[in-house]
Amino acid sequence: MHYMEIRNFGPIKHCAMDIGADGSVTVLTGPQASGKSTVAKAVYFFRTVKDELKMFLYMGPAPRETLREPLIRHLLYKLNMLYGWDFSLYDTMSLEYYYEKGNSQTAIKITAGDTDNRLHGNLTMSFGCEFDYLLDGDAGFYESVKGNLSMVFDVLAKTFRDEHSAIFVPAGRSSLVSLSDHIQHLFSEEGWRRHVVDYCVWKFIQLTVELRPWFSFARAMHEPYFHRQHILECINYLTQKTINSSYQYVDNEERLYFAPHDATKQSKHVKIANASSGQQEAVWVFNTLTHYLAEQKKVFLIIEEPEAHLYPESQMHMTDALALFAGYGNSVMITTHSPYVLGEINNLLIWGQVPESKREQATDVIFEKGAITPDKITAQHIVNGECKKALDDEGLCLIMNELIDGASDIINGRCDKLLGLLDNEDES
């Protein structure tokens, strides 16, 4: 299990949280601008350190140099990209990430030095001693791994206690998808992208462009992935229930195909740029899940607002898909405002606590692999700069009911007061 602690960083005063391994689900909820994205991006940053180090090891250091200083410069630059060049800092800020909880030898720490209260000020980054052989290795070690991608992967997976690739799916997906035909032209200039486009948005754009050909009709015909047929059928079912269509990349064009009402007729399609906002928000979430499940590649998926632009029932199906993805050896982190998403996570938690002997009675309404057990869930409520435990684990382990129904209670209370005024008017 990994562990992260943040102090005085942006809107976050203090956040300490466990980050689970295979099959884990992490939930961050709270009001707008409370710091959910700040926490999620910090997790993404630390989970992708090994990816940056992979590049350095594969290429090898310059003669008579080690990797420590160039890697630190590169990582701090990436931190700037993640949070923006005007992100305010406190002198007391710190970010700490432990790749093995309780083991300081596996920690990476970032603190503020003499700073001008901006992120590009003088930050200090330190590594636990387990990283020394990677950062300060001798020429023989670097030569042995240079160009050997398989060895680099093995070394990093062992040191970072992590075989997953981190993927960040940002909010605002519909605006990106609606420009799909023009993405490569709009973001072709590196300098323009660096200063205008959010780093996580840019990485998500890169992902969608890279994966498009995988969804071509020709590939689907030649690579049916029979060994993963069951899970792909489940994801396809949830995709259809959520966006009422299926995605294909045809003639360099992204399309959504609708099943015809008459089976004898050809299916109709719409360009993704002209699809509904809910379809645009959801389609590349499902595409990402489908691709990595089919290819059996382990992923740590961070997704912001999976509920965006979706009808409540569709939010339920989206949540089921994310839990199912976790159930097949991946990990998922969700930031959400939605009581429907939180409510369905509770359903999946209840499912995970139903005795095995009784599970057959519910397999018609929920997927077996979608169950979330108490040891696989972390939930944090972020408010007023503090991360607070959102699980009530006294008895049945569930997300606290007041976090789900709190807004409804306020709205219903207001309604009762207004109805009371009508009653008073009738009496007078």
SS (H, E, C) 308-370: CCCCHHHHHHHHHHHHHHHHCCCEEEEEECCHHHHHHHHHHHHHHHCCHHHHHHHCCCCCHHH
- Cβ atoms of residues 381 and 29 within 8 Å: yes
pLDDT of residue 13: 94
pLDDT of residue 309: 94
22/156 same-domain check? yes
For helices 36-47 and 68-83, the axis angle rounded to 10 degrees is 150
Please state the φ and ψ torsions of residue 185, each to the nearest 5 degrees.
-75, -40
Structural domain that includes position 274: 192-296
318/381 same-domain check? yes
141/33 same-domain check? yes
The contacts of residue 75 (CB under 8 Å, 6+ apart) are 45, 49, 52, 125
Domain boundary among 273, 296, 319: 296
pLDDT of residue 138: 74
pLDDT of residue 86: 62
pLDDT of residue 175: 78
Residue 31 domain-assigned? Answer: yes
85/200 same-domain check? no
107/243 same-domain check? no
Single pTM value for the model: 0.89
Q: Are strands 331-336 and 25-29 parallel, antiparallel or unpaired?
A: parallel
pLDDT of residue 364: 64
237/338 same-domain check? no
Domain boundary among 276, 296, 316: 296
Residue 55 domain-assigned? Answer: yes
SS3 content of the chain, % helix, strand, coil (to 5): 50, 20, 25
Place of tokens 């369905």: 344
Instruction: Tell me the pLDDT of the chain (428 aa) as tens digits.
Output: 999 999 999 899 999 999 988 889 999 999 888 899 999 999 999 999 999 988 888 776 665 677 888 888 889 888 888 887 666 677 888 999 999 999 999 999 998 865 554 555 567 888 999 898 888 877 777 777 777 778 888 888 888 998 899 999 999 888 777 665 666 665 555 555 555 678 898 889 889 989 998 988 655 545 666 667 888 889 999 999 999 999 999 888 889 998 754 445 567 889 988 899 999 999 999 999 999 999 899 999 999 999 999 999 999 999 999 999 999 999 999 999 899 999 999 999 988 888 877 777 766 667 778 889 899 999 999 999 999 999 987 888 999 877 777 767 777 788 888 788 886 655 55
pLDDT of residue 221: 47
Domain boundary among 296, 320, 354: 296
- Cβ atoms of residues 28 and 54 within 8 Å: no
Residue 347 domain-assigned? Answer: yes
Residue 187 domain-assigned? Answer: no
